[in-house]
Structure 1
């Protein structure tokens, strides 16, 4: 799949596409399973919200000028709970897909067959660690954004007192500092999910491993990741633009009477024209989402392997593993990678 040597940009990008082609079943199969489960749970949560707040919403819509505070409180609590559960489920699904991509790379770098069951088992066992990495990264990234939000709030308070100039300047300066800092943190910790899966590392250990491997290669990692994101964006355009031109123009709605009609009646009349296009658009959207969710973790995983080849002599280890047929990949025997040097092929976690 890739040369067992320091990788160039063409090897990294080409390796990601080759992996998607050769190992489409474990990659896209598990990603699709994660998306389907997420969609089913999201739909279930929406149904739960509807049935839980139907009476309150009916009373609030019937008397919008005199809303009962207890009804409003019940609706807000229900929506807040469902939103929190939905976000957690979404993070778990995203972490599982990232873990499955890294788990596929575990054997794909040696060109070995990757059974779907083995990838599932390995990915699911490492999903909590990847989820921990995601949550910790979210906390680290939220800090500069929270500082900017506090400064913006201070700007609004000062503006109300007629002194907007100094707070506005400070808020603008903080914005200029928070955006690069957030981007720097994202790139610095971009190898953490791969380290959590391929080395069996805990979330904090994976973050430290990522920071150590990215040190001295931040711009290279950022550039290749940005190029990968641009490729994913181009794929989305190539898929979606033809559908936009192919989508039929709906016929104008003609009411049979002069009375007002509901939007549902309008949609029913337009459905024969828009129905097929909406189905194709939904399929294209799922394809683009799956491509992005698989391609970007593969890119980060290959960048992680490249850095270990350059710094820790991983190529020699992989060559020995490929030559002797010993099971393993870019990990250590029996636990997380040692930070200091080359690693031996380990057992499959």
Structure 2
């Protein structure tokens, strides 16, 4: 990547270059995590298909089929939780991959994993803290809104909603960019803790809110569209296949299609979005802290 402040085109081009430069530690790690996590619902559903009745009779569900359905779709939920946890660790690995690629180094999958040593549980704690903060803010708003609805006249409730709902959305977007968008690469690449990573995110996005927000929003839209394009055929085949096969195997076909779609989505969405976020972190440091000079020194381009 060019060791200078990056434009939008530079960031996207560098993200694809990093992925091509080191596919094993980017796409490979994402696919590995998704495959392991999504194997659980396939195995559980396969066992349930062989041992229970997963078909629902026209007259209603039997206890056996209800247990089967709960087990199958419950295991899918557990698999998605495991995938989210593993995906979080992959984002931390990709931050190191991007930092190494900036100076021309290619980390192996094992080296990228080893680079996260000592920061993995901090990364989990950071994610939980951010998630809890957003949920707490939303819960407090719902509580206040419920109190207004039960105590105020209709006109006041409507006015409260018109004013506060957009304000809440704006506040959430502000918190996303200023506190929750860049702390992962900061935590991975700097000698800071969870709170320090949040502070670094706040510092790096100061006077850069709209630029950071625009790139983040565009990336989210592009990744969402591309993921839907990649997974729609598989999901459609799964739904058609569930109707075409024997009713006993319809749930298994659906679970397999969902699992495969998740793996394919992870192969693109996780490496690209994580690389873009890490590159925005590098870009902000180059703009604010002359980080490009430090990278040149590490790459041996300066004396």
Match of 1:103 in 2: 96
Structure 2: how far apart are the matches of 1:187 and 1:324?
33
Give 1:117 deviation, angstroms.
1.4
Structure 1: how far apart are the matches of 2:238 and 2:83?
30
What TM-score do you get using the length of structure 2 for normalisation? 0.77
Structure 2: how far apart are the matches of 1:62 and 1:295?
45
> 1:165-184 counterparts in 2 under 5 A?
165-184=155-174
Does residue 305 (structure 1) correspond to residue 286 (structure 2)? The answer is: no
Does residue 318 (structure 1) correspond to residue 289 (structure 2)? The answer is: no
Does residue 234 (structure 1) correspond to residue 225 (structure 2)? The answer is: yes
Unaligned runs of 5+ in 2: 47-60, 64-74
Give 1:325 deviation, angstroms.
10
Q: 1:123 to 1:32 in 2, by over 3 A?
A: farther
What TM-score do you get using the length of structure 1 for normalisation? 0.68
C-alpha contact 1:155 1:171 (8 A) present in aligned 2 = no
What SS does the aligned partner of 2:106 have? Answer: coil
Structure 2: how far apart are the matches of 1:184 and 1:26?
32
Structure 1: how far apart are the matches of 2:125 and 2:138?
20
Give 1:280 deviation, angstroms.
6.4
Does residue 4 (structure 1) correspond to residue 3 (structure 2)? The answer is: yes
C-alpha contact 1:148 1:175 (8 A) present in aligned 2 = no
Which structure would you say has the larger Rg? 1
Does residue 206 (structure 1) correspond to residue 206 (structure 2)? The answer is: no
Give 1:44 deviation, angstroms.
8.6
Structure 2: how far apart are the matches of 1:250 and 1:40?
19
Does residue 118 (structure 1) correspond to residue 111 (structure 2)? The answer is: yes
C-alpha contact 2:4 2:292 (8 A) present in aligned 1 = yes
Give 1:122 deviation, angstroms.
1.3
Structure 1: how far apart are the matches of 2:109 and 2:243?
49
Does residue 197 (structure 1) correspond to residue 188 (structure 2)? The answer is: yes
Unaligned runs of 5+ in 1: 48-60, 64-81, 254-263, 327-349
Match of 1:94 in 2: 87
Structure 2: how far apart are the matches of 1:251 and 1:316?
57
Structure 2: how far apart are the matches of 1:133 and 1:172?
33
Match of 2:141 in 1: 148
Does residue 135 (structure 1) correspond to residue 140 (structure 2)? The answer is: no
Number of residue pairs matched by the alignment: 283
Structure 2: how far apart are the matches of 1:243 and 1:44?
19
What SS does the aligned partner of 1:323 have? Answer: coil
What SS does the aligned partner of 2:300 have? Answer: helix
What SS does the aligned partner of 2:191 have? Answer: coil
Indicate the structure whose relative CO is greater, using CA pairs within 8 Å and at least 6 residues apart.
Answer: 2
- CA deviation string 1:98-132 (max 9, x = no partner): 11111211211112121221111113432212222
What SS does the aligned partner of 1:113 have? Answer: coil
Moved more, 289-298 or 312-321: 289-298
Q: 1:316 to 1:206 in 2, by over 3 A?
A: same
Q: 1:85 to 1:128 in 2, by over 3 A?
A: farther
- CA deviation string 1:260-295 (max 9, x = no partner): xxxx95354x79xx96x9866753442113321222
